[in-house]
Amino acid sequence: MNQALADRLRFLRAFVTNPRQVGAILPTSRFAVRDMLDMADVPGASLVVELGAGTGSQTAEILARMGPGARLVALEIDPRLAKLLEERFDDPRLQVVCDSAENLGEHLGEARADVLVCALPFTSLEQPLRRRILESMPGALASDGVALVIQYSPLIQGELHRLFGTVRRRISLVNVPPAFLYACSR
């Protein structure tokens, strides 16, 4: 079985096990990932943080764009998917953390991200958890950092405007369903 099909099946299994946590039945398309990452300077980043790494569809493209001295901290709450990421990517720049995104601050310490990539399904998360994660994101960014958020609904846009000074939006139609891409900065 090829890797793309295997990833779709893993992702579907994770969705069936916990639909509110996963929020989609398929991984994000590589076209939508590229569109999203084009909205920030990933090659110039020293620290990139990924929330909701899943099967690594964003992780692979982030690593391909990052400089040799940069670091990627990828948080994934599902232990099976976190293990898959560790096995799939033999890259010293990558640190996989199996934990909830709401605990991001514990894993960053004093460091701040130049780029934060977030693929969490905010519209399916319970309101208190969604609020905690969203409110932690601006403080996890460097002063000139950018938070990239991918969603399958525009419903989160108001909350992003409340938390960030600037929010740019694109729509990637080459995804099932179409993806709303946000670049947020303070």
Q: What is the pLDDT of residue 155?
A: 93
pLDDT(9) > 70: no
* pLDDT value for 161: 97
Q: How far apart are CA 31 and CA 35, in angstroms?
A: 6
The residue-averaged pLDDT of 137-163 equals 96
Pairing of strands 141-151, 71-75: unpaired
Give the model's confidence band at 10: pLDDT under 50 very low, under 70 low, under 90 confident, else very high: low
Q: Is residue 70 included in any domain, yes or no? A: yes
pTM across the whole model: 0.86
| Residue 161 placed within a domain | yes
What confidence tier does 4 reach under pLDDT thresholds 50, 70, 90?
low
Residues 6+ apart with CB under 8 A from 33: 57, 58, 61, 150
Q: For 54-78, what is each residue's pLDDT tens digit? A: 999 899 999 999 999 999 999 999 9
Q: Per the domain annotation, does 7 fall within a domain?
A: no
Answer yes or no: is 1 within a domain.
no
Would 42 be classed as within a structural domain?
yes
CA–CA separation, 19 and 92 (whole Å): 32
CB neighbour class for 149 (10 Å; exposed up to 12, middle 13-18, buried from 19): buried
The answer to whether position 54 is within a domain reads yes
Whether residue 46 lies inside any domain: the answer is: yes
CATH of the domain at 44: 3.40.50.150
The parent domain of residue 107 ranges over: 28-185
- Give the phi and the psi of residue 54 in degrees, each rounded to 5: 55, -130
Nearest Cα to 75, choosing from 100, 46, 106? Answer: 100
Whether residue 22 is predicted with pLDDT greater than 50 in this model: the reply is no
Tokens standing for residue 149: 């958020």
Counts of helices then strands in the chain (DSSP H, E): 8, 7
How many domains, the chain? 1
In a domain, 82, yes or no: yes
Encode 121-133 in three state secondary structure. CHHHCCHHHHHHH
